[in-house]
């Protein structure tokens, strides 16, 4: 299959991630994408193409105009205030306070985020736009008849809500691609999120809709990020009731257990009869991942790809998490090779 990749991803190169009370080098760093790209090439997975430019219209089908505007100007506004470091939110609208957008940049950082580990840095906007274009280009390839395409997105997207950044995510690339399918007349779209973390943004964006089925398999939010969404009793609301599925697992989960949830997910997707499928692909489920607690092995990713292929659907893979850079290329390309086998 073809891979869509933009060198502009490297403009997202934050120096800081707030972790354990100190600022560390971010886990979500440029070498992740470069390592995946190198493996795509060395395994001759298929042609690598650069994205087309889609502008902000398809982004704003998912994200609010005030959020997009905030992201575009955040870095300049921050620098104009004379701040010495990267832009990190430090105040939120806590329970009982008023959810209105403040003028001040510190206030707006809190208003448009749900987590503080993700610093906004110079170039973040440009890279986030390029990442959305990568997803939209892969979507277009599939809409034009390719069986599947790999959107090598960076920064990732699945934690981003309509108007919130966090979890290393700014634009929800998978949601933007799903909405593009809908806007092109695809009646039902399924999004299966296999990243270690709950796809909270994707769930929230489609929570009251029955036209986009959202499923996420992830670590128990009682124990891990994002903590405040992703429990199994969240099944959708209004028209969306029954169109969200969460499967949660405890620490130490191996593929033999994880794949039971995958089976449940695949059956639900088959029942839904979508005309397209998006896989939000994180490989932070890997046994050596530095911030996660599942025990998937590199060969398990081949099995995952094979199972997804059995659904027989036009499929877009969007890259999400995965922080063991030494193994990320092998693990990601294993999914694609399993899919194509």
CA dist 6 → 137, 166, 170, 317 (Å):
11, 22, 16, 15
DSSP 8-class letter at 236: -
Q: How far is CA 54 from CA 51, 136, 150, 168, in A?
A: 9, 7, 18, 22
Specify the residue for token string 């086998």. Answer: 341
φ/ψ of residue 39, rounded to 5: -70, -40
Instruction: Tell me how far, at minimum, the Cβ of 196 lies from ligand SP5, in Å.
Output: 6
Q: In the complex, what is the shortest distance from the CB of residue 155 to ligand SP5, in angstroms, rounded to a whole number?
A: 8
Please state whether beta strands 189-193 and 2-4 pair in parallel, antiparallel, or not at all (unpaired): unpaired
Has 159 been annotated as catalytic?
yes
Residue with nearest beta carbon to Zn ion: 321
Alpha helices in the chain (DSSP H): 30-42, 57-60, 65-80, 105-111, 124-143, 173-183, 200-206, 255-272, 300-309, 325-340
Our CB check for Zn ion shows the closer of 180 and 330 to be 330
End-to-end CA distance of the chain: 11
CB 236 within 8 A of CB 244: yes
Query: What would the DSSP string read from start to end of 174-203?
Result: HHHHHHHHHHTT-S-EEEEE-SSS--HHHH
If one asks whether residue 225 binds ligand SP5 (CB under 6 A), the answer comes out as yes
Taking the complex as a whole, the smallest distance from the CB of residue 155 to Zn ion amounts, in Å, to 12
**195 binds Zn ion, rule: CB under 5 A:** yes
* Residues 132-171, mask of contacts with ligand SP5 (x by CB under 6 A): ------------------------x--x-------xxx--
Contact flag: residue 193 with ligand SP5 (CB under 6 A): no
58 binds, among ligand SP5, Zn ion, none (CB under 5 to 8 A by kind): none
Can you tell me whether residue 169 is helix, strand or coil?
Answer: strand
Q: Which residue is nearest to ligand SP5 (CB)?
A: 321
Task: Give the interface size with Zn ion as a residue count (CB under 5 A).
Answer: 6
Measured from the CB atom, the residue of 2 and 27 that comes closer to ligand SP5 is 27
Residue list 289-318, contact with ligand SP5 (CB under 6 A): 291
One of 9, 108, 197, 198 touching Zn ion (CB under 5 A) = 197
Instruction: By CB under 6 A, name the binding residues for ligand SP5.
Output: 19, 117, 156, 159, 167-169, 195, 197, 225, 282, 284, 291, 320-321
Positions touching Zn ion (CB under 5 A) are 195-197, 282, 284, 321
Query: So which residues are the catalytic ones?
Result: 159
């Amino acid at each position: 299959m073809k891979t869509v990749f933009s060198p502009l991803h490297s403009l997202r190169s934050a120096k800081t991630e707030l972790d354990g009370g100190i600022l560390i080098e971010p886990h979500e760093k440029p070498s992740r994408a470069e390592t995946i790209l190198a493996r795509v090439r060395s395994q001759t997975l298929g042609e690598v193409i650069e994205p087309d430019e889609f502008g902000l219209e398809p982004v704003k089908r998912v994200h609010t105009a005030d959020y997009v505007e905030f992201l575009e100007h955040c870095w300049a506004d921050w620098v104009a205030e004379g701040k010495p470091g990267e832009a990190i939110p430090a105040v939120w609208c806590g329970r009982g306070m008023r959810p209105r957008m403040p003028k001040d940049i510190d206030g707006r950082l809190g208003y448009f985020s749900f987590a503080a580990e993700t610093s906004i840095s110079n170039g973040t906007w440009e890279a986030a736009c390029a990442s959305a274009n990568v997803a939209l280009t892969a979507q277009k390839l599939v809409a034009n008849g390719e069986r599947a395409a790999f959107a090598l997105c960076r920064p990732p997207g699945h934690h981003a809500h309509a108007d919130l950044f966090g979890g290393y995510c700014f634009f929800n690339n998978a949601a933007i691609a799903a909405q593009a399918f809908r806007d092109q007349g695809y009646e039902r779209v399924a999004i299966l999120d296999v990243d270690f973390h709950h796809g909270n943004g994707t769930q929230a964006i489609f929570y009251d809709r029955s036209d986009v089925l959202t499923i996420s398999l992830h670590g128990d939010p009682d124990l891990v990020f994002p903590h405040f969404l992703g429990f199994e009793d969240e099944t959708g609301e209004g028209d969306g009731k029954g169109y969200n599925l969460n499967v949660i697992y405890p620490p130490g989960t191996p593929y033999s257990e994880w794949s039971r949830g995958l089976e449940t997910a695949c059956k639900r997707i088959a029942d839904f009869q979508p005309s397209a499928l998006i896989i939000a692909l994180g490989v932070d489920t890997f046994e050596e991942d530095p911030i996660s607690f599942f025990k998937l092995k590199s060969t398990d990713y081949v099995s995952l790809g094979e199972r997804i292929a059995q659904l027989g659907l036009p499929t877009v893979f969007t890259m999400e998490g995965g922080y063991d850079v030494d193994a990320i290329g092998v693990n990601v390309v294993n999914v694609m090779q399993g899919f194509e086998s």
